[in-house]
């Protein structure tokens, strides 16, 4: 290499050094702490996303707040979500940020304490009045994210035309123009996209279709990392740091993007320059260096490891198709599990001419209870009542499920109205015996129950039995609560 060439190289390196100086502070880090690497979904704004290579989002701020508590630097790397799971299985990271727990994933990972609440909601056009629940989506085109929870949620429903969302803004525009009938996504993510893109004519259907709680996943058996993360989450929960972060993010919409405009322009320009410098470095590296035999062997080993990880991920994805049918709070079956099991049981009872009974259950004055004691106490009450119901329903073929909010449903196969009434009375009595004080009404927590039973025939629709039990429940609430009312056909 000539002397002139050497001088040119030194000048280029010096210029690069000067450019990086303001932002990197000589690229030194006086913090000798270890680093905890967490992978997140790069397209999940405002929870986790990548903005010009920088990790941002409410979940990112939460885990960064743990650094001083746990003595580790927390690095969040937003990547493609499917690739993140492969990297995790391959041992390239310490954890997965903002992931929902399921029995299938329990075989691969251990999970931290709850991180964020996700209300999976339906977005429709403003003038839509017929789309209120998943049952109303039959024959409709519904947009969901590939591999996301709503996509798995809809797999058990027939006649729903699922369209995979690649870009949120494009999909919401398609919804506003009528090319999509609905989009199902975490409410916060949908609202954030609508605010940023300024798309109008879209509303959110209340209540949410389902509520889940995300967590941080670590490799199976990595107790040390799990305990470290849990201790950090507990500390920032106890000192209300999480509450402050949530308050900061609740209002961030379009203004946040506008404030970052100039910083984004600067970062893009710097990134382009660094890219050109990298190309020059690659040119010289390829010209004057040769890969050693050791590197070739290492690459081969890594390729084999990736192949093994891919095979494991394929097997895991096959199991993930059978998504959890358990309610995350009460451990009873969830609404999706009830819908699928009920439709199958209806067909069997229709074929075998067997009676089928339903008990609709609603907790009395629960809103007042929540307002008085708070949602955490309300959640504990839901758990205890769910345990009561599960303790009564023991026969194979019967089902107890959380129907939504403070409402439960019990399905009893080959059971008449009389038999179902006995079961309902036992649930009512056991609930009252819990003696959970409801100071808002100077009484204890009770439940109202509506009972209905039919022998299905070809002239009846499965929804008719649900409606009948629901009307009986309404009469029980109307007639004073803490009662069991049985629907009778002549009341129609």
Residue matched to tokens 């190289």: 9
CA distance 416 to 362: 21
DSSP per-residue letters across 348-401: HHHHHT--EEEEEEEETTHHHHHHHH-HHHHHHHHHHHHHHHHHH--STT-EEE
Instruction: Evaluate whether 63 touches 38 at the Cβ level (below 8 Å).
Output: yes
406 given a catalytic annotation: yes
Q: How far apart are CA 430 and CA 292, in angstroms?
A: 74
The one catalytic residue among 42, 193, 210, 406: 406
480 phi/psi in degrees, rounded to 5: 120, -5
Ranges of beta strands (E only) in 220-288 are none
Question: How far are the Cα atoms of 183, 201, 327, 338 from residue 127, in angstroms, in the given order?
Answer: 15, 8, 32, 30
How far, in Å, are 308, 317, 344, 423, 455 from residue 355 at the CA level? Answer: 51, 38, 14, 15, 4
Identify the CA nearest to 62 among candidates 214, 204, 178, 182. Answer: 214
Residue 373, C-beta contacts closer than 8 angstroms, at least 6 positions apart: 439
Measured between alpha carbons, how far is residue 98 from residues 232, 245, 338, 371 in Å?
Answer: 15, 16, 27, 29
Nearest Cα residue to 388 out of 457, 308, 332: 332
Nearest-angstrom CA–CA distance, 432 and 117: 30
Q: Which helix (H) or strand (E) holds 297?
A: helix 293-320
**Structure tokens, 452:** 């209905």
Question: Is 446 in contact with 484 (CB distance < 8 Å)?
Answer: no
How many CA atoms lie within 13 Å of 344's alpha carbon, on the beta-carbon side? 11
Are 59 and 177 in contact, with CB atoms under 8 Å apart?
no
φ and ψ at residue 89, rounded to 5 degrees: -65, -25
| Phi, psi for residue 33 in degrees, rounded to 5 | -70, 155
Q: Which of 168, 194, 215 is nearest to 42 (CA)?
A: 168
Interatomic CA distance for residues 209 and 251, integer angstroms: 23
Nearest to 149 by CA among 314, 345, 323, 271: 323
Neighbours of 352 (CB within 10 A): 11
**Catalytic residue numbers?**
406
């Amino acid at each position: 290499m000539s002397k002139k060439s050497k001088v040119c190289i030194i000048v280029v390196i010096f210029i690069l050094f000067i450019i990086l100086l303001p932002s990197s502070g000589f690229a030194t880090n006086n913090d000798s702490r270890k680093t905890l690497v967490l992978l997140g979904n790069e397209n999940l704004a405002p929870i986790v996303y990548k903005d010009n290579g920088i990790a941002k989002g409410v979940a990112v701020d939460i885990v960064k707040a743990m650094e001083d508590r746990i003595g580790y630097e927390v690095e969040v790397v937003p990547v493609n979500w499917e690739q993140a799971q492969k990297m995790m299985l391959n041992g390239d990271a310490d954890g997965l940020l903002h992931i929902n727990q399921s029995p299938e994933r329990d075989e691969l990972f251990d999970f931290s304490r709850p991180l964020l609440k996700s209300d999976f909601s339906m977005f429709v056009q403003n003038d839509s009045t017929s789309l209120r629940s998943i049952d109303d989506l039959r024959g409709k085109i519904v947009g969901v994210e590939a591999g996301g929870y709503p996509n798995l949620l809809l797999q058990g429903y027939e006649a729903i035309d699922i369209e995979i969302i690649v870009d949120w803004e494009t999909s919401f525009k398609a919804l506003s123009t009528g090319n999509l009938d609905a989009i199902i996504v975490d409410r916060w993510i949908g609202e954030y996209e609508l605010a940023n893109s300024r798309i109008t004519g879209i509303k959110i259907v209340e209540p949410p279709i389902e509520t889940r709680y995300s967590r941080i996943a670590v490799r199976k058996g990595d107790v040390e990392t799990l305990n470290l993360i849990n201790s950090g989450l507990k500390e920032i929960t106890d000192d209300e740091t999480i509450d402050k972060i949530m308050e900061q993010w609740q209002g961030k919409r379009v203004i946040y993007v506008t404030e970052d405009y100039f910083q984004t322009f600067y970062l893009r320009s710097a990134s382009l320059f660094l890219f050109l410098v990298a190309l020059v470095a690659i040119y010289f590296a390829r010209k004057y260096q040769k890969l050693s035999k050791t590197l070739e062997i290492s690459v081969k080993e890594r390729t084999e490891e990736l192949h093994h990880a891919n095979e494991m991920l394929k097997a895991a994805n096959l199991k993930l198709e059978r998504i959890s049918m358990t309610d995350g709070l009460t451990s009873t079956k969830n609404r999706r599990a009830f819908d699928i099991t009920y439709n199958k049981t209806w067909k069997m009872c229709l074929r075998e001419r067997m009676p089928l009974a339903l008990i609709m259950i609603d907790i009395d004055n629960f809103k007042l209870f929540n307002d008085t004691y708070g949602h955490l106490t309300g959640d504990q009450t839901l758990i205890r009542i769910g345990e009561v119901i599960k303790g009564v329903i023991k026969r194979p073929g019967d089902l107890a499920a959380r129907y939504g909010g403070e409402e439960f449903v019990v399905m009893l196969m080959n059971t008449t109205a009389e038999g179902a009434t006995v079961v309902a009375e036992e649930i009512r009595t056991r609930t009252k015996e819990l003696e959970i004080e409801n100071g808002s009404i100077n009484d204890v927590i009770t439940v109202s129950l509506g009972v209905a039973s039919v022998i299905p025939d070809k002239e009846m629709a499965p929804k008719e039995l649900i409606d009948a039990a629901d009307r009986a429940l309404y009469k029980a609430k109307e007639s004073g609560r803490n009662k069991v009312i049985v629907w009778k056909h002549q009341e129609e």
